[in-house]
A = this chain, B = another copy of it.
Amino acid sequence: MKAKKEEEIFADYASRKNLKHSGRRDAILKIFLKSEKHLTVDELFQLARKASPGIGYATIYRTLKHFCASGLCREFKCEDGFTRYEHLYGHEHHDHLICTQCGKFVEVVHPSIEKLQAQIAEREGFILTKHKLELYGVCKNCRKK
């Protein structure tokens, strides 16, 4: 029951933060959890508007901040200028392979790269806190077209 677990994570956060109950927020959470894509703010807004007509843009932003703070998701500033939000729960650390034609996101994991990064950092006397690796290219599907 992954979805259940994610809802619990947010419920815990909400009670920790003394958030009050809100239908809007529930709707946004449901939509976010249902989508496995890396949604942009606007995509989420469009979907939320269907479920909760009259919802404002600011509410999406505010709610996403909460989701991030709760550990449910993470902001991902993409090269195309749009910020996307990706699920964190149940997703081990990964990097991204992104198709510049269709926008497909592939989450990739490669322990050897992580190891090499640590080596580089050590060689230069750094202690690594985080890294960002994005591979941009064209996927098989888009090449056929």
List residues of chain A with CB under 8 Å of any chain B CB: 77, 79, 97, 99-100, 106, 108, 110, 112-113, 116-117, 120-121, 124-140, 143
Copies of this chain assembled into the complex: 2
CA distance A127 to B140 in the complex (A): 8
Quick one: closest B residue to A135, CB to CB? B131
Give me 6 other A-B pairs in contact (C-beta within 8 A), A97-B121, A130-B137 excluded: A100-B129, A106-B126, A108-B120, A110-B116, A113-B116, A120-B135
CB distance from A98 to the nearest CB of B (A): 9
Q: Are A126 and B113 in contact (CB under 8 A)?
A: no
Given A132-B79, A133-B133, answer yes or no on A138-B120 (Cβ-Cβ < 8 Å). no
- Residue numbers in B under 8 Å from A121 (CB-CB): 97, 135, 137
- Residue numbers in B under 8 Å from A138 (CB-CB): 126-127, 129
- Residue numbers in B under 8 Å from A108 (CB-CB): 120, 124
CB distance from A15 to the nearest CB of B (A): 32
Please pick, from B77, B97, B99, the residue contacting A120 in the complex, using a CB distance under 8 A.
B97
CA distance A97 to B132 in the complex (A): 11
